[in-house]
Structure formats: C-alpha cells, structure tokens
C-alpha cells in the first residue's frame, strides 16, 4: 500500500470429496479440485471518495439432490433424477466501484461483469412414449453485465434510509441444446426507519425482483414488503413489536413457464403472503465490555 493506492492479491486451492455408496459400485461422485484467485486494487481520491477494482473467482457446488441418480416417479408422465457426474459452477467476477462516504450519506455506483461456466441447467426431455425426463447437466454458460446504484442516508438517530437498485443484462446459452436466452433483469430493495418521541418507532423493508431468465424456464416477478411498529418501555428494557408482512395481498402467486422446444408447460404457485406477528422482548442486565487491565498498566510502566 501507498498513500493513495492499496493492493492485495491471493489464490487458494479447494478440494471437495464426497463419499457415497450406490448399489452400482462402479458409480462414483468425482472429487472437485479448484484454484480460486482474487485481486483487489483501491485508489483513494480523498477522505470521502474512493475507486476500487476487484476480481474474484467463486464456485458453487451441486446440491445432493442434483447428484442423486435415484429415479423419482412423480407421476405416470414425469420422472426426475440427478446426475452424479456434475461439476461445480465456476464464476468469474469483475467489479469496479465508486464510493462517496460522508457521515450522514453514503452513495455508491458499481459496474459488474460476471462470467459463468459449467452452470447447472435443469434439462427436460420428452421421450417418444410421452414421458418427460428431468435431470441436470453442466451445459450452461452465462454472461452478465450489472449496474448497481446504492445509497444510505442517516442524518440523525431518528431517520435512517437506504436503497439499492440493480439493473442486469444477462445472456445464457448452451451449444449442447442449441439454445440462447437474453434480456434485462432488475432488483430493488428499500429499507427505512424513523424514531418518534416516547419510545415509538416505525420500520419498513421492500424488495422487488423482476422475472428470471433461464434456458428453458422463466419465472414471473416477486415482491415482498413489511411494516414494523415498535414501542419501547421501562427504560428500553421491554420492546413490543407489531409486524405486518404482505398486508395488502393475502396470497402470493408466481408462475413458472417451461419451454423446451418439444413441449410447453405452465405452473402457478400460490403461497400465504399476509402475516401478522406480535413480539415481546426483554433485556436483562446491562452489557458492559471492558478491556482487561495488565499489571504493567496498573503499575504505570
């Protein structure tokens, strides 16, 4: 590091070994061996502004049900099974950040390029007997460009606001399936709180996610929101919180569409969206953290 520049580089090696037993003794899950480099470079413009570039490599290991070759007969027209030969997904992340940081205000802009290889793709094949087989393969590729805007505003102990907006353009393709999908995605998360007089406070969190894009599957958007009202009593020892989740809509609906080229399927999921919770909490004692005093300090040496 220097007065204006800071840099850090490293690499780590990871090995994953899964010990499994199948009736077919010739069937084994391979070991995963991965080298994961990383790089960080930061330029400090002044005490409020900084510019950072980072590069990281990440892996995502397949879940057990992705690997399990056991055939699940869902019904007479649908079966599913895992693939024990799956390899981990490898993702390369390049991020360029600009941050402005003041006591009451933080603002940041990030440009991200993410390159994914060997991604798990859920593959559906329609057999001649009209039975649909579902399994997983490492045949997906994805390139994603993202622009992220975030800010936090905290002018006093009473008010706290934060918001993050991410816009992403994704391209997914698979030469094995001769498929390619692309499009824009975006996310928005907002949180805010305000403290009133006499121990009252209100807090809210809102999260929105646009539709998802995969090679054979798309899902509709997702919205979550809540509102919390808190009353503090007895010298801030007793907290009473009333929380409401999804109070405008009793049900949440999300539709998944599957289009493999040989068949089309739509599934609509419905789940409970509206929740009301009343919580009580009590703080016992007083938290007191002290630094141990050494004998040298006691004697004044």
287: pLDDT strictly greater than 70:
no
Range in 100-109, 130-139, 235-244 with the lowest mean pLDDT? 130-139
* Helix segments in 62-103, DSSP class H: 64-67
H or E segment to which residue 224 belongs: strand 222-233
First CA to last CA across the chain, in angstroms? 34
For residue range 250-272, what is the model confidence (pLDDT) as tens digits?
A: 999 999 998 877 778 888 999 99
C-alpha span between 5 and 193 (Å, rounded) = 36
For residue range 109-127, what is the model confidence (pLDDT) as tens digits?
A: 999 999 998 888 888 888 8
Chain centroid to Cα 292, Å, comes to 40
Residue with tokens 């999260």: 207
Asked whether the beta carbons of 37 and 54 are under 8 A apart, the reply is: no
E strands present in 102-221: 105-126, 132-153, 159-174, 179-195, 200-209, 212-213, 217-219
141: pLDDT strictly greater than 50:
yes
For residue range 217-237, what is the model confidence (pLDDT) as tens digits?
A: 889 999 999 999 999 998 888
Q: How many percent of the chain have pLDDT more than 90?
A: 52
Chain centroid to Cα 108, Å, comes to 19
C-alpha span between 36 and 11 (Å, rounded) = 6
C-alpha span between 114 and 96 (Å, rounded) = 12
Burial class (CB in 10 A: 0-12, 13-18, 19+), 82: buried
Asked whether the beta carbons of 54 and 39 are under 8 A apart, the reply is: yes
C-alpha span between 213 and 210 (Å, rounded) = 10
Per-residue pLDDT, 194: 96
C-alpha span between 8 and 38 (Å, rounded) = 8
Chain centroid to Cα 233, Å, comes to 36
Rg of the chain (C-alpha set): 26
Beta-bridged to residue 276, according to DSSP, are: 244
**What is the average pLDDT score of the chain?**
88
Mean pLDDT of 59-65: 85
């Amino acid at each position: 590091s220097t007065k204006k520049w800071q840099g850090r580089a490293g690499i780590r090696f990871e090995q994953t070994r899964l010990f499994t037993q199948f009736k077919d003794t010739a069937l084994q899950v391979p070991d995963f061996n991965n080298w994961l480099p990383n790089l960080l470079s930061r330029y400090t413009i002044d005490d409020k502004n900084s510019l950072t570039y980072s590069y990281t490599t990440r892996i995502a290991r397949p879940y057990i049900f992705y690997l399990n070759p056991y055939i699940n007969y869902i019904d007479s027209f649908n079966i599913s099974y895992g693939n024990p030969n799956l390899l981990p997904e490898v993702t390369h992340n390049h991020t360029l950040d600009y941050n402005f940081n003041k006591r009451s205000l933080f603002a940041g802009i990030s440009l991200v390029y993410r390159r994914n290889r060997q991604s798990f793709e859920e593959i559906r094949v329609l057999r001649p007997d009209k039975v649909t087989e579902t399994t997983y393969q490492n045949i997906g590729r994805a390139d994603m460009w993202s622009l992220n805007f975030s800010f936090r505003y905290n002018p006093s102990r009473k008010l706290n606001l934060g918001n993050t907006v991410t816009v992403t353009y994704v391209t997914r393709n698979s030469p094995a399936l001769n498929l390619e999908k692309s499009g824009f995605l975006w996310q928005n998360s907002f949180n805010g709180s305000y403290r009133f007089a006499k121990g009252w406070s209100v807090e809210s969190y809102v999260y929105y996610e646009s539709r998802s894009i995969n090679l054979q599957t798309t899902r509709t958007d997702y919205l979550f929101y809540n509102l919390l009202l808190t009353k503090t009593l007895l010298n801030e020892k007793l907290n009473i919180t009333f929380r409401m989740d999804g109070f405008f809509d009793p049900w949440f609906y999300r539709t998944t569409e599957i289009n493999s080229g040989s068949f089309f399927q739509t599934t609509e999921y419905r789940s409970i969206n509206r929740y009301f919770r009343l919580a009580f909490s009590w703080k016992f004692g007083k938290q007191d953290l002290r630094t141990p005093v050494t004998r040298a300090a006691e004697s004044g040496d």
